[in-house]
Amino acid sequence: MVQKAKVMIDKEFVIGEIDKRIYGSFIEHLGRAVYEGIYEPEHPSADEQGFRTDVIELVKELNVPIIRYPGGNFLSGYNWEDGVGPVSERPKRLDLAWRATEPNVIGTNEFIDWANKVNAEVNMAVNLGTRGIDAARNLVEFCNHPSGSYWSDLRISHGYKDPHKIKTWCLGNEMDGPWQIGHKTATEYGRLAAETAKAMKWVDPSIELVACGSSNRHMPTFAAWEAEVLEHTYEHVEFISLHTYYGNRDNDLANYLAQSLDMDQFIYSVISIADYIKAKKRSKKTIHLSFDEWNVWYHSRESDKQLEPWTTAPPQLEDIYNFEDALLVGSMLMSLLRRADRVKIACLAQLVNVIAPIMTKKGEEVWKQTIFYPYMHASLYGRGTALQTVVSSPKYDCRDFTDVPFLDTVTVYHEEEETLTLFAVNRHQEETLKIDCDIRSFEGYTVKEHIVLENKDVKATNQHNHSNVVPHNNGDAISNGGYLTANLPKLSWNVIRLSK
Ligand code: AHR
C-alpha cells in the first residue's frame, strides 16, 4: 500500500531568513578530533602545519560556516594561554573532563589557521568553570584587538599581525551540569556570565555572545535555569544555548525517529522562556537561540568506559552511525529550519572522529559516515528563506509520542538564485509515501534533482573500507501545472530541488 500526504508551499509563508550559522559544527579537544583528526603531521596528506588536507577537503564539501572550539566539557578546565607561543614551551595538562592528557600542540592560533583553511569562522568559547572574567577578556584582546596592548602584541609576536576578528563567543559550556568542572547554580552562572560579557564587550563591542542554557531538556533545572540566567544576562548577550543528543537505546525505531518532536518542543520552550523574560524586562531586544550541540550519541557510550585514562587522543565517542541515525539527523536539521526565525546558530556535535560525520584512520584514509549526507545536503541546499510548509500526513503513535506525522518536511526558497528545495523524511517503516504538493506560487519552477538516501538495512553503516549508505539521485519527483508529486520510499531522506 502507498500512504498519501498533501503539502502546501507558498512563497508568502515565510518563517524567516536562514542564518548560515545553523549549519555550524564543533571541534573539541577530545578523543581524536584534534590529534589524529584534523592534525596529523606524519600523515601523507599533511600540509606544512601538520593539518590533514584530505580532512580539509571533506570539511569543505560540507560547506561548514562556523565551528565551535575548544569545547565542550574540556573547556571548563582549559587555560587558553597554555596553547599559544612556542610549542616546545607549552605544558602538557591533565584534562579532567575526559581523563586524557592534552599536549597543547594545537591552540588558538593554529585552530584559527585551520578554520581559515576550511573557510569557516570560529565560534570561540571561554572557560567559566575554573577561570573567569580576566582570562576571557584577555582572550578577546589576544584575538581581536589590533595592536598596542600586552595580549594583542603577544599575538603579533607569534606571527599573527592581523587580528583574528572572532565574532561569536560562548560564555562557558553546560554550566548547569554537575559533571562540569566549576558547575554553578543558575544565579552563580548568570552573574558571572553577565560580568564576563560586559568586560568582553568593553574590549570589543562588535562581538556576539551566547549564554549557557540547559545541557538538555530533561535536566531537573531546565526552564528555571534559562529564566534565571536570562534575568542576569538579557541585556549583555545575543543568544541562549541548547544542547541535545538522542539514541535508539531500546531499538524502537518508530520512537527513535520521532525524537525530533522532542527537539521541536525544546526549541519552542526556550523561545517561550526568552520571550517571557523579554516581557518581564519590558525589553525591545529579542534573544536568539544557539543550538550549539546536537546529534545522535549513544553507540560508543559503553565502550568508552573501558578506555585507559591519561593517554593522548584516545578513541573516545567514536560512534559508528547507521542508516537510521542519518534519518534522525535529517529530521533534526528540519527542526532547526522550522524555527529559522529564532535559531540562528547550530553546531552539529562534532565534526571529526568524535560523534562525527567525518572519520579518519591514522596514517590512512578519511571517510564519510552515514550522517554526512543529510548534513551536507542541508548545508548546501538549505540556504535562503525557510517556508512554513503546511502538511496533511497520516500519523502514528509510539511509546513517547502521539500523532507523529509519517511525513517530516520543510522547504527552503532562495529568491536570488530562484531555487526551491524540499527536504523530507518518510518515517513509515513499510510503505512508500506519495506526496502531492501545491507549488502554484512558484510558477515556472521544475524539478532539477530528487536525491534519496535509502537502505534495506536500517543498521547499515559506512566504514573506512566500505560505503553502504550513499545517496542516489533517482527519485521520481515531477512537477506539472503548479503541482509537485513524488514517491518517498519507506524510511528515506529526500531532497527535491526545483529551479526556474
Ligand atoms: O560533545 C560531547 C560533549 O557533550 C561536550 O563536551 C559536552 O558539552 C556535552 O555534554
pLDDT digits over 101-158, tens only? 999 999 999 999 999 999 999 999 999 999 999 999 999 999 999 999 999 999 999 9
Query: Can you tell me the mean pLDDT for 398-422?
Result: 98
In tens, the pLDDT along 345-358 reads: 999 999 999 999 99
Confidence band of 234 (pLDDT split at 50, 70, 90): very high
Q: Cell match 578523543: residue?
A: 31
Query: Can you tell me the mean pLDDT for 153-164?
Result: 98
How far is the centre of ligand 1, averaged over its atoms, from the C-alpha of 48 (Å)? 31
How far is the centre of ligand 1, averaged over its atoms, from the C-alpha of 72 (Å)? 5
How far is the centre of ligand 1, averaged over its atoms, from the C-alpha of 73 (Å)? 6
**Smallest CA separation from ligand 1 atom 9, residue:** 72
- Short-list 258, 288, 222, 246, CA closest to 401: 258
What is the spatial order of strands in the sheet that 419-426 belongs to? 14-17, 385-387, 407-414, 419-426, 492-499, 446-454
pLDDT at 55: 98
pLDDT at 282: 98
Element (H, E) at 423: strand 419-426
Q: What angle do CA 347, 350, 355 make, to 5 degrees?
A: 140
**Smallest CA separation from ligand 1 atom 7, residue:** 72
- Short-list 110, 88, 87, CA closest to 29: 110
State the catalytic residue, choosing from 40, 81, 174, 208. Answer: 174
pLDDT at 1: 81
The CATH classification of domain 19-381, taken from the options 3.90.280.10, 3.20.20.80, 3.30.70.890, 2.60.40.10: 3.20.20.80
Is 318 a residue of the active site?
no
Handedness of CA 405, 409, 474, 492 (dihedral sign): negative
Residues 28 and 73: their CA atoms lie apart, in Å, by 8
How far is the centre of ligand 1, averaged over its atoms, from the C-alpha of 277 (Å)? 27
Residues 96 and 215: their CA atoms lie apart, in Å, by 19
Q: Tell whether ligand 1 has an atom less than 6 A from the beta carbon of residue 77.
A: no
How far is the centre of ligand 1, averaged over its atoms, from the C-alpha of 454 (Å)? 30
CATH class label, 3-10+388-499: mainly beta
Backbone angles phi, psi at 487, to 5 degrees: -105, 120
Which ligand 1 atom sits nearest the alpha carbon of residue 243? 9
Cell of 81: 594561554
- Short-list 369, 385, 393, CA closest to 488: 393
Q: Tell whether ligand 1 has an atom less than 6 A from the beta carbon of residue 350.
A: yes
Percent of the chain with pLDDT over 70: 100
Q: Tell whether ligand 1 has an atom less than 6 A from the beta carbon of residue 71.
A: yes
Which ligand 1 atom sits nearest the alpha carbon of residue 30? 6
Q: Tell whether ligand 1 has an atom less than 6 A from the beta carbon of residue 180.
A: no
- Short-list 379, 331, 369, 375, CA closest to 492: 331
In tens, the pLDDT along 293-317 reads: 999 999 999 889 889 999 999 999 9
Confidence band of 281 (pLDDT split at 50, 70, 90): very high
**Smallest CA separation from ligand 1 atom 1, residue:** 349
Query: Can you tell me the mean pLDDT for 472-476?
Result: 97
Antiparallel, parallel or unpaired: β 462-463 and 24-26:
unpaired
Full DSSP string of 234-294 = TTT-SEEEEEEEE--TT--HHHHHTHHHHHHHHHHHHHHHHHHHHHHTT-S---EEEEEEE
Residues 128 and 83: their CA atoms lie apart, in Å, by 17
Q: Cell match 593554529: residue?
A: 110
In tens, the pLDDT along 185-228 reads: 999 999 999 999 999 999 999 999 999 999 999 999 999 999 99
CB under 8 A, 24+ apart: contacts of 377-380: 377/423, 377/451, 377/471, 377/493, 377/495, 378/23, 378/330, 378/333, 378/337, 378/423, 379/23, 379/62, 379/63, 379/64, 379/65, 380/63
Handedness of CA 377, 356, 336, 425 (dihedral sign): positive
Q: Give the CA count within 13 Å in the CB-facing half-sphere of 237.
A: 33
In tens, the pLDDT along 311-358 reads: 999 999 999 999 999 999 999 999 999 999 999 999 999 999 999 999
How far is the centre of ligand 1, averaged over its atoms, from the C-alpha of 152 (Å)? 30
Q: Tell whether ligand 1 has an atom less than 6 A from the beta carbon of residue 174.
A: yes
Report domain extents, the chain: 3-10+388-499, 19-381
pLDDT at 273: 98
Q: Tell whether ligand 1 has an atom less than 6 A from the beta carbon of residue 393.
A: no
Which ligand 1 atom sits nearest the alpha carbon of residue 173? 8
Which ligand 1 atom sits nearest the alpha carbon of residue 245? 4
Do 443 and 451 contact (CB within 8 A), yes or no?
Answer: no
pLDDT at 35: 98
Cell of 485: 508529486
- Short-list 287, 284, 289, 374, CA closest to 333: 374
For 333, the 3-state DSSP assignment is: helix
Is 42 a residue of the active site?
no
pLDDT at 430: 96
Asked if residue 238 has pLDDT above 90, the reply is yes
In tens, the pLDDT along 31-87 reads: 999 999 999 999 999 999 999 999 999 999 999 999 999 999 999 999 999 999 999
How far is the centre of ligand 1, averaged over its atoms, from the C-alpha of 100 (Å)? 15
Same fold, 3-10+388-499 and 19-381: no
**Smallest CA separation from ligand 1 atom 4, residue:** 72
Task: Give, as one character, the DSSP assignment of residue 39.
Answer: B
- pTM equals 0.97
Q: Tell whether ligand 1 has an atom less than 6 A from the beta carbon of residue 293.
A: yes
Cell of 490: 519507506
pLDDT at 426: 98
Residues 17 and 384: their CA atoms lie apart, in Å, by 6
State the catalytic residue, choosing from 28, 102, 208, 293. Answer: 293
pLDDT at 13: 97
- Best mutation site among 25, 28, 32 for ligand 1 pocket (most ligand atoms within 8 Å of CB): 28
pLDDT at 261: 98
Element (H, E) at 26: strand 24-26
In tens, the pLDDT along 412-444 reads: 999 999 999 999 999 999 999 999 999 999 999
Residues 89 and 126: their CA atoms lie apart, in Å, by 22
Full DSSP string of 105-116 = SS-HHHHHHHHH
